[in-house]
Amino acid sequence: MTWLEREIERNKKRLAKIEASPDQTMLRANKLLYEMELDLRKAQLEAWRTHNKPMANSEYATALINAMGFVGLDLMGSADRTRLADEYFDIIRAKGFPDTACDRTIVCLAMCINEDYPPPDIVLAHNTACHMELTSFKAIGEYFKKPVFTLNGGLGASEDSLRFVTDQLEEFTQFAEAKVPGVRYDEERMIEILEIESKAQQYMREINKLRSHVPCLLSALDAFRLPRFPSYYPEPRLALNYFEAWRDEMTGRAEKGIGVLEEEKLRLLWVVTGPFYFNPFIVLAKRGVSVPALQFGWMTRVFGIQYYNFLDEEEYGRKLSPLEEQARLLNSNSWAVLGDTWVKDTLEACRNLKVDGMVYYVQIGCTASAGLGRIVAEEAEKQLGIPTLLMEGRQLDAQFKSQAECEQELEAFVDLCLSRKGLI
Amino acid sequence: MENDLQSLLSLSRENKRADRALAWKKAGQKVVGLLCSYIPEEIIHAAGMLPWRIIGTHRPGTPRADVYRPPHTCLYCNHVLESLLTGEYDFLDAVVATSWDQDLIRLWDVWKYLGKTPALHIIHLPLSNSPTHKKQFAKEVKKFFTFIENLGGRKITGEALFDSINLFNRCRGLLHRVYDLRKRETPPLSGSEILALTVASLLMPKDEFAAGLEPLLPYLEKRTNPLTDNHPRLLVSGDRLDNPEYLKVVEETGCLVAMDDLDTGSRYFWRSTVIDGAASLEAMLEALAYRYHDQPASPGMMTWAEQVEQVAEWVRDFNIQGVLELPLMYSRSRQMRAPYFKDRLSALGIPVASFERDYHLANVGQLKTRIGAFVEMLQ
């Protein structure tokens, strides 16, 4: 059985479990999420097995990939879901790739090599989140001898950079139409998807406002989940039901004053990523620590509170074309640009979420965030008076740091934060 | 003449590499530190400033830098940051980077945060050779031109830029003549000596470099390199390799480094800037943009096929028996390209070996054993 087939079975089990005995601390809306995840995995498997539809890597031009008729392959997101990836690291080493690169960017490559996950029919190699993803996409394309289109982002928001990325997206559509039979850019479909994305983004903003509620309304596991754009899924419109249900549940909890912890002593912002091979939040919850959000590259500018929305006309002073809208999104990741944006956004998230400290996960091989942790920590102390734990680790490799070591670090940091608040 | 040659080569040493820059400063002129080979130096020169390639300390350990950068990040960046934090770049008036890779961008971010250099600039480097990417890079070169004008507080004339382009082309021509001598069965310079020469060219005023190298060429025609073995002939491929001692280690295993694929070597000077006498300032900036974007690429560029073709061409032209790749540890762009590079060259019948190295000279025994085995296989 391939990983993809196992993931389908896992999603079915998750759904059955939610039906049979729901965990009261977790969102009921997760049922809708797992249904969409199941649909996505089934569509990927069918495209892989039957070649009924072409496949392209979907991170992060998902609206365009969807509007071109591709089945999107969430290479990075799928790697995250392997949780513990020892066998994939062995493949990486055997093939001569670096095992010290960011886990998700190399594990997805190994998953394709191991025939656990389909390689894309065409690759959009880009640096709109980080350079490691760019080189990973490129390596996947070259390994499987697939057409690769290189797209450059990372310039932030300006008319010039918007034009530059839009031009490249236009070139990509022509490239893909020429290289992959059956692919065609459908602008009407694109417009329809963007309207859905815009609504989803509005829900996310409302959800993010609710994240600042004291006491915290989300379990750390729900808070930690990376939101995905609706266009990741075969039926984007279904995602609106999920986001709406998520918002409504949080609103209901806020109205009733129900927090997820019996007594909330501390609020911590978790930053970048975390270990996926165990649940680091159990030890925090036991100490009365809530985690209202995960701060990552897309969070503040795309899913965040204070920045522009899809389809607005304010940012550029005009209505954008559908491809420009996609370009705007690709220029919005605060990891891809110069570091001061990430520092500013992270501090802003701390303010909005009223946190007492940060756990900044220094992911080995993360070219985007690892070199900025110290600056974030210094500025958080200087501007907000809050401490930061710079916690080195890996997402999918327990050999680098064990669960016990991670928990020990977290416990010590909680002691420090509680002591600062005069609670111990 | 041998003394003159050794004097020129010695400028690549850690204790001498800032000599010319400090003399330049003493004369009241500005020095601009460069973190990448994709920065059009001619513009800096035309503004009356010294472009000076930033090389990190070759001392082991980077305790000061480790505070800001985790140790598993690009070692060149870590060693440069160590030098910055120990005050070795205090004389710089400005520092310029490109978005060559994200580790370098993050070094630039920390540099800016620390506020130790008066002016900073970063050039966005589009990573493919598509017309759209070339056009965007030309815009970036214009922005850089404005930055340098502002730094100098005066306009750069077309005449000054024309002269600078010609001077830099002349230096490239001289280095090409030296590299042509490498094609001989017994070249006049060893691989480590050549690297010392090209590194010196990164650190010196170009007119001084040309004046130093040109009279040496007749001497080099007759000189014999100090190596005992001139066979097998290797091409060394890497990035940020600015310590000639590394190539000395390679050649001590019983081979000759007869060609390189280094940003501190051939890639730095291989292409010239093509302009004609009547070129406008605008046209010259475009020509510079084209020249820099189109240079033999680093693995950070997504033009992997062209990179392999270039190396294969050098292998043929320089009669190379094997390619030795020396990736810098944690240099992700090169590491991710490594399997492709090896497969494609192997398919062309070119033997390839790849051994990771530190930035400072380290693990010499282990490296010698591994490289020695590769050399023996080629023999």
Beta bridge partners of A270: A294, A359
Q: Per-residue pLDDT for A301 more than 90? A: no
Asked if A101 and B336 come within 8 Å (Cβ–Cβ), the reply is yes
Residues A6 and A182: their CA atoms lie apart, in Å, by: 29
Express as a percent the part of chain A with pLDDT over 90: 91
pLDDT digits (tens, 9 = 90+) for A377-420: 999 999 999 999 999 999 999 889 999 999 999 999 999 999 99
Rounded distance, CA B106 to CA A371, Å? 6
Measured CA to CA, the distance from residue A133 to residue A259 in angstroms comes to 37
pLDDT value at position A94? 97
Q: How many cross-chain Cβ pairs, A to B, lie less than 8 Å apart?
A: 125
**Cβ atoms < 10 Å from Cβ of A51:** 11
Residue A106 placed within a domain: yes
Of B110, B126, B304, which is closest to A371 when you measure between CB atoms? Answer: B110
- pLDDT surpasses 90 at A311: no
Amino acid at A210: L
User: Which residues of chain A neighbour B345 with C-beta distances below 8 Å?
Assistant: none
Structure confidence by residue, pLDDT tens digits, A202-221: 999 999 999 999 999 999 99
In whole angstroms, give the CA distance from residue A160 to residue A167: 11
Pairing label, strands B94-98, B119-123: parallel
Residue B298 at interface with chain A, using a CB cutoff of 8 Å: no
Rg of the Cα atoms in chain A: 21
Whether chain B has a CB inside 8 Å of the CB on A291: the answer is: no
Residues facing residue A391 across a β-bridge: A361
User: According to the model, what pLDDT value does residue A300 have?
Assistant: 83
Identify the helix (H) or strand (E) that includes residue B233: strand B233-238
Residue numbers of A between 133 and 152 with CB closer than 8 Å to B = 134-136, 138-139, 142-143, 148, 150, 152
**Least Cα separation, residue A367 to chain B (angstroms):** 6
In-domain check, residue A48:
yes
Confidence of residue A307 (pLDDT cuts 50, 70, 90): low
**For range A22-28, the mean pLDDT:** 90
Extended beta strands in A4-111, E state? 55-57, 71-73
In a domain, A135, yes or no: yes
Looking at residue A199, its pLDDT comes to 93
The number of residues making up chain B comes to: 379
Distance, in Å, from the CA atom of B312 to the CA atom of B65, rounded to the nearest integer, reads: 38
Domain total of chain A: 1
Burial of B363 (0-12, 13-18, 19+ CB in 10 A): middle
Interface test with B, best of A142, A163, A342, A390 (most B CBs within 10 A): A142
- Other Cβ atoms less than 10 A from the Cβ of A298: the count is 21
Q: For residues B14 and B58, what is the distance between their CA atoms, to the nearest angstrom?
A: 7
> Rounded to whole angstroms, what are the CA distances from B371 to B227, B233, B322, B338, B377?
16, 13, 11, 17, 10
Alpha carbon distances (Å) from A273 to A12, A363, B248: 26, 7, 43
pLDDT of residue A306: 59
What CATH number is given for B11-159 in this structure? 3.40.50.11890
Name which of A303, A304, A328, A302 is nearest A315 in CA terms.
Answer: A328
Q: What pLDDT score was predicted for residue A154?
A: 83
Does a structural domain hold residue A332? no
Report yes or no: A259 and A292 within 8 Å, Cβ to Cβ: no
Residue B47's pLDDT is: 98
**A164 in reach of chain B (CB within 8 A):** yes
> How close, in Å, is residue B339 to chain A by CA atoms?
6
pLDDT in tens, B173-209: 999 999 999 999 999 999 999 999 999 999 999 999 9
Give the tens place of pLDDT for each residue, A246-284: 999 999 999 999 899 999 999 999 999 999 999 999 999
Structure tokens at A329: 């999104």
- Residue A271, H or E segment: strand A266-271
The three-state secondary structure class of B327 is coil
Contacts of A125 in chain B (CB under 8 A): 302
pTM of the model: 0.97
Q: What is the pLDDT of residues A104-121, one digit of tens each?
A: 999 999 999 999 999 999
Contact in structure between B59 and B360 (CB atoms under 8 Å): yes
pLDDT for position A22: 87
Given this model, what pLDDT does residue A272 score?
97
Residue A89 is predicted with a pLDDT of 96
Cis peptide before A60 (omega within 30 of 0): yes
Range of the structural domain that residue A98 is part of? 3-188
Q: Is B338 on the interface with A (CB under 8 A)?
A: yes
- Beta-carbon separation of A132 and B69 below 8 A: no
**Segment B10-56, tens digit of pLDDT:** 999 999 999 999 999 999 999 999 999 999 999 999 999 999 999 99
Q: What is the pLDDT of residues B134-178, one digit of tens each?
A: 999 999 999 999 999 999 999 999 999 999 999 999 999 999 999
Partner residue facing B72 (CB), from A130, A338, A365: A365
> β-strand A388-393 against A294-295: which pairing, if any?
unpaired
Per-residue tokens: A231: 């266009």
Taking alpha carbons only, the member of B96, B90, B110, B84 closest to residue B47 is B96
Closest of B330, B10, B39 to residue A365, by C-alpha? B330
The pLDDT-based confidence of A84 (bands split at 50, 70, 90) is: confident
Strand, helix or coil at B336?
A: helix
Percent of chain A surpassing pLDDT 70: 99
Domain ranges of chain B: 11-159
How near does any CA of chain B get to the CA of A336, in Å? Answer: 8
Q: Give CA–CA dist A340/A361, Å, rounded.
A: 18
- Identify which of A353, A391, A227, A106 has the alpha carbon closest to the alpha carbon of residue B70: A391
Over chain B, what is the mean pLDDT?
Answer: 97
Q: Note the pLDDT of residue A2.
A: 97
Q: Which chain B residues contact residue A364 at CB under 8 A? A: 70, 72
pLDDT at B71: 83
CB contact under 8 A, A371 and B73: yes
CATH number of the domain residue A133 falls in: 3.40.50.11890
Task: Give the pLDDT score at A156.
Answer: 86
According to DSSP, the residues that pair with A390 across neighbouring strands are A360
Q: Tell me, what's the pLDDT at A305?
A: 58
B154-to-A287, B49, B138, B147, B157 alpha-carbon distances in Å: 62, 12, 22, 11, 9
Using the Cβ of B304 and the Cβ atoms of chain A, whether some distance falls under 8 Å is answered with yes
Residues B38 and B100 sit within 8 Å (Cβ to Cβ)? yes
Closest CA to B332 of A259, A171, A134: A134
Task: Provide, as residue numbers in chain A, all residues whose Cβ is less than 8 Å from the Cβ of B340.
Answer: 139, 142-143
**Rounded alpha-carbon distances, angstroms, from residue A398 to A89, A353, A368:** 12, 30, 22
Residues A56, A57, A61: CA angle, nearest 5 degrees: 100
pLDDT at B293 over 70: yes
In the prediction, which pLDDT does A406 show?
97
Terminal-residue alpha carbon distance, chain A:
51
- Residue-wise pLDDT tens digits, B210-256: 999 999 999 999 999 999 889 999 999 999 999 999 999 999 999 99
How far apart are the C-alpha atoms of B292 and B38, rounded to whole Å? 6
